[in-house]
Amino acid sequence: MKSKTANLFYFIPYSLWLFLFVVAPVALILYNSFLDINHHFTLANYTTFFKSGTYLMMTLNSLWYALLITLVTLLISYPTAYLLSHLKHKQLWLLLIILPTWINLLLKAYAFIGIFNQTGVANQFLSFIGVGPQQLLFTNFSFIFVATYIQIPFMIMPIFNAMEDLNQSYINASHDLGATNWQTFRRVIWPMTLPGVKAGVQTVFIPSLSLFMLTRLIGGNKVITLGTAIEEHFLITMNWGMGSTIGVVLIVAMVIIMVLTGDAKSRGGFQK
């Protein structure tokens, strides 16, 4: 009996946190999304959102760029994680990959402004090899490049863990039964590391939907995502209702992604 009360006691800080910083904000967003600019109850925000081409375009844009970022990140991270898991000092290498995540996102963004600007290192190099200076900053390319750079560690980690769990004897068994390297990858390695890939996609895709600092600093607001729109509504137009509505749409999109990628526990999943 005593231990049960004690357990409840330990639960208090977490419950408070959960209520104050997760439940309450989400409830407030939901509440605000039904208020117009004069704080009257309305459904107009939602009708505006779904009737306006601008917002739908923005949603598609967000999804599209998040998808691109996730895809590029995955293409780089999967082979990297595979390579890492076969290295001798893999924990050290992994640490080096994780290291950049300890640096503030804004700092990294400003660093890239320095690298990509007209007189930056990147353009100096391009001039040196004879290509000449290019407009790098404020392009879609630089936006995806920097976003990918920032997300890569979050993709590598879960895939690396899945690779570590993958026993060499599965790969040997596959070769033993006559499989080529490609067949082994397709039939054994990929399906068994898929849970790691799904976890990585979740941690990369969902935050990528609402990137707004990068769209502004690196993408030069050429790419306008839902994240940018929310920021504008809250800070510039002061239309909190509309901002909240977009927020709700974003939350729903995230839930959908989580459901789609989150069936790792059912059949087909790889469990230790």
Residues lying near other proteins in the complex (CB under 8 A) are found at 167, 169-170, 172-180, 183, 187-188, 191-192, 267-271
Q: Which is nearer to other proteins, 114 or 268 (CB)?
A: 268
Q: How far is the CB of 117 from other proteins (least distance, A)?
A: 48
CB 189 within 8 A of CB 162: no
Q: Which is nearer to other proteins, 141 or 270 (CB)?
A: 270
Q: Which is nearer to other proteins, 159 or 214 (CB)?
A: 159
Q: How far is the CB of 175 from other proteins (least distance, A)?
A: 4
CB 231 within 8 A of CB 246: no
**Rounded distance between C-alpha atoms, residue 272 and residue 264, angstroms:** 12
Q: What is the CA radius of gyration of the chain?
A: 23
Q: Which is nearer to other proteins, 251 or 264 (CB)?
A: 264
Q: Which residues pair with 35 in a beta bridge?
A: 41
Q: How far is the CB of 154 from other proteins (least distance, A)?
A: 24
Q: How far is the CB of 195 from other proteins (least distance, A)?
A: 10
CB 246 within 8 A of CB 55: yes
Q: How far is the CB of 27 from other proteins (least distance, A)?
A: 40
Nearest to 78 by CA among 204, 267, 207: 204
Q: How far is CA 212 from the centre of its chain?
A: 12
Q: What is the DSSP letter of 133?
A: -
Q: What is the DSSP letter of 117?
A: S
Q: Which is nearer to other proteins, 36 or 165 (CB)?
A: 165
